Amino acid sequence: MTSPVTSPATSPATGRFHGVGVGPGDPELLTLKAARLIGDADVVAYHAGPGKESNARRTAAGLLRPGVVEEVLVYPVTTGATEHPGGYTGALAVFYEESAQRLAAHLVAGRDVVLLSEGDPLFYGSYMYMHDRLAERFETEVVPGVPAFAAAAAAVASPLVRQTDVLTVLPGTLPEPELARRLADTDGAIIMKLGRTFPAVRRALAAAGRLEHAMYVERASMPAQRWLPVADVDPATVPYFSLVVVAGDSRHGRRTRDTGLPDVAAAAGVPAATEAAELLVVGLGPGPDRWLTAEVSAALAEVDHVVGYAPYVDRVPQRAGLTRHASGNSVEIDRARLALELAARGERVAVVSGGDAGVFGMATAVHEAAEAAGAEGREDLAGVPVRVLPGVSAVQAVAARAGAPIGGDFAVMSLSDRLKPWAVVERRLRAVAEADLVLAVYNPASRSRTEQVVRAQKTLLEVLPADTVVVVGRDVGRAEESLHVTTLAELDAASIDMKCLLIVGCAQTRVTSSGRVWTSRSVPDRAEG
């Protein structure tokens, strides 16, 4: 049923819209407020699948008063198969718009509308699509409900998380590698939206090392409720109304409060070894998997632990037996120390770094940590054998995209003054410019360093011509990649951020008619003077 909808401003008394959570299925888990609003409503609306009874309506059935108007919002489709020209998404968009119009007609007529929602209205619920369309037009109230995962956790009677544990709620529709990665990186976990996704979910749990402690719960709180270990579930029997509970207590390797790195002594339960294992420090390249070397791929397939900055650790596929140790960007020595500790205990460890680990990467940090450990008398750490596996560096990637700007002599510098004073940076910039070397600039800017590019540009212009070629590469190798060729004088310093790498040319750098940048290998005698 539909009718013209008028604005609340022109209507003397519009009805109130309530999104009411009815919980996971047991009517006794309804809140008192939900029960009162359902009993007082002029209109009770609820969603239902084609040819199916509404679970939300069944839960609230004993509260509906005689004569209440019921609006059944029947989905046009519950899978991706539809003849709608816009596909599954297009069909549902039309359905939600038409449903909102039906409810708006009652509200404009002054009737209070309660839209029932399984679990909680704002947690993976269809209510939200009605809220998006009606909340700004009508007085709206959302009444929370017990979510299904809370009932499932209660059913298996296993604590989800405690103290500083992290709970992650994941849809089973995530790509399998991403699901495995997230499961490995969290303490407690809930996996929703199973059904046909169950086989991939089980494989992801196994890859993350969480299958043994994962519990499957079906129709939590309902009469047909059942639960059993995920490993024992027949995939052919899994309905949509099911989820997986992974208790935080099953997580091995608690993180320390200060650095986000695991407490090795209390963590992985790794016993001391009589002989240290070789510690690998590997470069993952600038981003695309195709730029990962075969040597590094083989090494990562063999190690037991991966240690590194979180975005780099995320690039390593999760698999059974692999423990991931991710941390922030400013604790290089801490994570290097962690890697040395693990390797000293005989564990096979890879420290990962973006680009090439030896170019402003973790290779140096590992050696620095080993040297500091030796000074402390920790010869077991100082003596860990370290091997660095090269990777494609960012300067190589940007240069290749531009043409051949580093075909001649070149220098590489970082504009970060976190580990060296700016006076040193400025002196080196001037020396490179006076030597007429091509200059690759790493770390040109960050959120906290916004003036360095301006100052570097000014310093270089004191020595180099204004028309010196500059290449700006941003996110090279990724979907957002861009490459811009400009001059030193016209470089827009404000446009440079932490995702950029700059290549400043020299006297032998040219730009072709097609925009390719290259530097001659030949240097005239006059250039030496």
Identity of residue 175: P
268 pLDDT exceeds 50?
no
Q: What is the token pair recorded at 449? A: 């360093």
Q: What is the pLDDT of residue 357?
A: 95
- Starting at the edge strand that comes first in sequence, how are the strands of the sheet with 17-21 ordered? 69-74, 43-48, 113-117, 17-21, 140-143
| Tens of pLDDT, residues 413-427 | 999 888 899 999 999
For the segment 119-142, the average pLDDT, to the nearest whole number, is 95
258 pLDDT exceeds 60?
no
Identity of residue 447: R
Phi, psi of 68 (to 5 degrees): -65, 140
Confidence band for 447, pLDDT divided at 50, 70 and 90: confident
Find residue 324's DSSP bridge partners: 306
| Tens of pLDDT, residues 10-38 | 445 799 999 999 999 999 999 999 999 99
Q: What is the CB neighbour count within 10 angstroms for residue 489?
A: 13
| Tens of pLDDT, residues 352-377 | 999 999 999 999 999 999 999 999 99
Domains of the chain: 17-143 (3.40.1010.10), 150-250 (3.30.950.10), 279-389 (3.40.1010.10), 396-528 (3.30.950.10)
C-alpha 255, offset from chain centre:
19
Q: Which helix (H) or strand (E) holds 469?
A: strand 469-474
Q: What is the CB neighbour count within 10 angstroms for residue 285?
A: 25
Rounded Cα distance between 70 and 54, Å, is 12
271 pLDDT exceeds 80?
no
296 pLDDT exceeds 50?
yes
3-state secondary structure of 360: coil
Question: Can you spell out the DSSP letters for 158-223?
Answer: -----TT--EEEEETTS-HHHHHHHHHH-SEEEEE--GGGHHHHHHHHHHTT-GGGEEEEESTTST
HSE toward the beta carbon, residue 286, CA cutoff 13 A: 23
Q: What is the pLDDT of residue 265?
A: 40
For the segment 108-114, the average pLDDT, to the nearest whole number, is 97
For the segment 304-332, the average pLDDT, to the nearest whole number, is 89
Confidence band for 251, pLDDT divided at 50, 70 and 90: low
Identity of residue 526: R
Q: What is the CA radius of gyration of the chain?
A: 30
Mean pLDDT score across all residues of the chain: 89
For the segment 318-329, the average pLDDT, to the nearest whole number, is 87
β-strand pairing of 482-487 with 469-474: antiparallel
- The 8 Å CB, 24+ separation contacts for 492-500 are 493/453, 493/454, 493/457, 496/444, 496/445, 496/453, 496/472, 497/445, 497/446, 498/443, 498/444, 498/445, 498/446, 498/447, 499/474, 499/475, 500/444, 500/445, 500/472, 500/473, 500/474
For the segment 244-268, the average pLDDT, to the nearest whole number, is 56
| Tens of pLDDT, residues 474-517 | 999 888 999 999 999 999 999 999 899 999 999 999 999 999 99
Confidence band for 252, pLDDT divided at 50, 70 and 90: very low
Q: What is the pLDDT of residue 274?
A: 57
pLDDT above 70 coverage of the chain, percent: 91
| Tens of pLDDT, residues 49-91 | 888 899 999 999 999 999 999 999 999 876 656 667 767 788 8
